[in-house]
Amino acid sequence: MTMKITDILKELEEEESKDKESQQLSYKMIFFKYSQKWYWFAIGLFVCLSIAFAYTYFTTSQYEIKSTLLLRDENKGSDFNSNAALSNIKGFGSSSSVENEAEVLRAEHLMLKASDELGFSVSFSIPNGPFRWKEIYGDEVPFQIVTHERNESFNVGNNTINILIKDDEEYQLIKPSGDTQVFKFGQKLSNFYGSFTIVKNPKFNHLMDGIFDKPIKIEFLDSTAGRHLSKSLSVEIVNKLASVIQLSILSEHPIKGRDLLAKLIEVYNREADDEKNITAKNTITFIDEQLVGLIQELGNIENKAEQYKLSNSITDVGAEAQLYLNSTTVNRQQLAELSIQIDVLESIETYMSRNGNEYETVPGTLTVSDPTLNSLISDFNRIQQERERMLRTTQPNNPIVINISQQLSSLRNSIIENLRHIKNGLIISKNSLQSTSNQFQSRASKVPTMEKELLDINREQGIKQQHYLLLVQKREEAVLTLAAASVGNSKTIEEPIPSEYPVKPNKKIIMAFGLIMGMAIPFGMLFIKDQWQERIQFKSEVEKITKTPILGEISRNKPSDGIIAISKSKRNLIAEQFRFIRSNLAFSSYKKPNQTILVTSGLSGEGKTFFSVNLAITMGLSGKSVVILEFDLRRPAMISALGMKAEKGISEYLNSADMKIEEIIQPMVNAEMVDIIGSGSIPENPAELMINEKLYQLIEILSKSYDHIIIDSAPIGLVSDSFMLANVADITIMLLRYNYSTKSQIKIIEELRKQKKFKQQLLVLNDAKPEMIYGYGAKNAAKYYQQS
């Protein structure tokens, strides 16, 4: 039992090894076949590499400029620019997230401002080889353009002019239409772009070395040029745990890209500062408005007190009123504080109720220290700042903006309602204190009226003075906040640095891609062509379709060599292949004598006659007697191909009752021990003739005289003659021809094998190229046989 399992495993391993070898051979065959179409690959490589070269030549080279920023992000602990004075004042704090700031940096309006401030509305280029230009920038340009008036609606599609400098004083202007004019430097010009002047660069003489005879192309860009630049800007968050952003941009000129990225960072910081300082600025404006009226009121009160004292000659108050005045001082001081608070609340209420201030920043409460009110105002100002920031990149009808506006409206109502409640409470407290003060005043009824009126004037003056000092103090705090907050929203970790070499186009990758495509496209076309190819090309294709054993392969025979490819003296490749087939045939039949071999094919032209003749010659050379029967009665070709003549043949023998075999047998020319029987005349009924009993007599008589009988029959795919001969044949050899026989023929052969229509069915593959059999050793094999 163990031995049987071992044998089975060994057989499985052998089959697996054969499958691998067959697969490797299939790959080699594909390689050898495709190598014959080398000119396809040469054309593909030439075209694809030419396209890749043209692309790299005409595509503008671009450099990459990178910069790294550290953003202020309170959520992530970035406080490099925090200030104590700023954090201690209510309503002036700010916070941001790295994700939000990254979106702000991507906004087009920042790039538009940066490019406009740098004057990127005009670009300059010089020739850089045939049919391409190279941009120059800054000090590389020998002149400058001073714009006086710009036409914002000029046609961007036809926006270039060429300048050809003639000498130090004049230049030639070439218009898009081709017209030329000569102008002097500093002369005012007008065209589609607007009015401008071309003036010389201070380094004109140094820059003009070698440029006098070359045109300089000037391209005028519209106001949206920054939008195209913003598309090449990349903003990436370096690390989610750090407030670090990396900016990168692609530019044709490295210095120009570096200046643009630096200006973009500058504009971003400037706008961030303006946004953070808007609350402080609004507070300063509000206090200034209040101080104007308060200063005027203080002046009036001081004039009133001065006139009262002059008119009543008042210099000192009697000591008798001192006791009553001491009693009322405390109440009056409290009344003054309440009055100040009520005035401030009324001022804020009036400011918030004014039409047009629905979304304006609310100033601080200054003197009223109510936690709820201060919290509401702080929340209102923070949400109002967020709304202003969102409006920079979104529309007012955005759902987020509408939601924020609703929150602001709700907070504003809450603030107004809170102001009213606080004011009502202060009025009640004031009324209570006023009542108490009246009681003390009634006790001081003996004090002269003049002294009372003077005290009222002094009290009113003190209230206004205290109010004035408070506003001045708060204004100084707001100014200090404004100065402390203007420290920028980011810190540059790495300044903008351009790459040393262009990053686009990547010539190595493009040329490698062109090389790959130059090989892949022809290979793909050949592969697709092969997939649709119905004719057999490889031995492996035959083995996949049928299990019929393959006796051997025969190389292509040149038509000029004739039908006989074998002789006693020949040692060529085809002769050795026939000897190999002879050996395999003897092995497959166990050297059975008196064999009758039926040779057929699927279609005419697959080489069965050529095979039959040369197989017979090969057997004759081994000392075996062989006779060939030309049984293709419908289209005989063997006798004529051999240059022989036969007036009588198989047709006459089968139709005659007394004809002897010796009358139709003739020896083959230049072949040992090989005889041949021709087909004779073409009969009218070949099929009926083959069912004649004399056919069996013919085979029986010949088998007694010859070792082998080779029957060259008609193709099985056209007529049924070969099926009638199947009963008299011991072996059936079917010919298939590379690049001629079809896969459907092989399927028919497989069906015949399964149905056992023929005895010991074998295949021979004809017209094989030497490299398909021997691979790289084909030439060496051919030389070996020639030398032998």
Phi, psi angles (nearest 5°) of residue 766: -105, 160
Query: Can you tell me whether residue 218 is helix, strand or coil?
Result: strand
Nearest CA to 380 among 347, 353, 407, 356? Answer: 407
Burial profile 394-404: b = 16 or more Cβ within 10 angstroms, e = fewer? eeeeeeebeeb
Query: Can you tell me whether residue 292 is helix, strand or coil?
Result: helix
Phi, psi angles (nearest 5°) of residue 152: -75, -15
Helices marked H in 59-193 — which ranges?
84-87, 98-106, 108-118
Nearest CA to 637 among 565, 712, 688, 567? Answer: 712
User: Would you state the pLDDT for residue 414?
Assistant: 80
pLDDT at 733 over 90: yes
| Tens digit of each residue's pLDDT (9 = 90 or more) over 224-240 | 666 778 888 888 888 77
pLDDT at 587 over 80: no
| Strands across the sheet containing 761-768 | 550-555, 761-768, 731-737, 595-601, 708-712, 626-630, 674-677, 665-667
Nearest CA to 699 among 650, 657, 652, 645? Answer: 650
pLDDT at 326 over 90: no
Residue with tokens 């309503």: 91
- Range of 21-35, 81-95, 305-319, 688-702 with top mean pLDDT: 688-702
CB 376 within 8 A of CB 410: no
What is the token pair recorded at 339?
Answer: 């009055």
User: Would you state the pLDDT for residue 88?
Assistant: 43
Find the mean pLDDT for residues 509-518: 91
Give the side-chain half-sphere CA count within 13 A for 452. Answer: 13
pLDDT at 291 over 70: yes
CB 149 within 8 A of CB 195: yes
User: Would you state the pLDDT for residue 627?
Assistant: 93
| Tens digit of each residue's pLDDT (9 = 90 or more) over 370-412 | 777 777 778 777 887 787 787 777 777 778 777 877 777 787 7
**pTM of the entire predicted model:** 0.51
Chain centre to alpha carbon of residue 367: 62
Residue 68 contacts by C-beta under 8 Å, 6 or more apart in sequence? 238, 244, 245, 246, 247, 492, 493, 494
